[in-house]
Amino acid sequence: MAADPHDERTPYDLVGGDAAIRELVDRFYDLMDFEPSYAELRRVHGSSLESAREKLYLFLSGWLGGPPLYVERYGHPMLRARHLPFAIGEVERDQWMACMVQAMEEVDVPKELREGLRQAFWKTADWMRNR
């Protein structure tokens, strides 16, 4: 995901570390909560976004090469298994992706990193579909 294949910094470093991950996650969930174009995705999350917001922050920290906060607290992410109780189809996948892309743009994730992240997020989001 790094722009320079010889750059040894992780995506976590390139995005800006802990504060930047928190900012990205907060923007993502704020957009989901308030933008009508993400209504179906928002409905999947129930009445409160706080738990999902915290878990995504913890997960992204480790997934991007930073501290493995999610694993330390909850163990292996087992993403697909943990998402099976939620109906995730193409609409939810596409809204998740659009919301994340918008959040990355709005918090100024470096452009050269955004495309790699978009591709990685797409693979994961598509794999999460269960209907």
Domains and CATH numbers, the chain: 12-127 (1.10.490.10)
pLDDT per residue over 54-105, tens digit each?
Answer: 999 999 999 999 999 999 999 999 998 888 888 899 999 999 999 999 999 9
Please tell me the distance from the alpha carbon of residue 2 to that of residue 13, in angstroms, as a whole number: 10
At residue 112, the 3 state secondary structure works out as helix
pLDDT per residue over 94-116, tens digit each?
Answer: 999 999 999 999 999 999 999 99
Please tell me the distance from the alpha carbon of residue 9 to that of residue 83, in angstroms, as a whole number: 30
- pLDDT band at 13; cut points 50, 70, 90: very high
Q: Determine the average pLDDT of the residues in 6-23.
A: 93
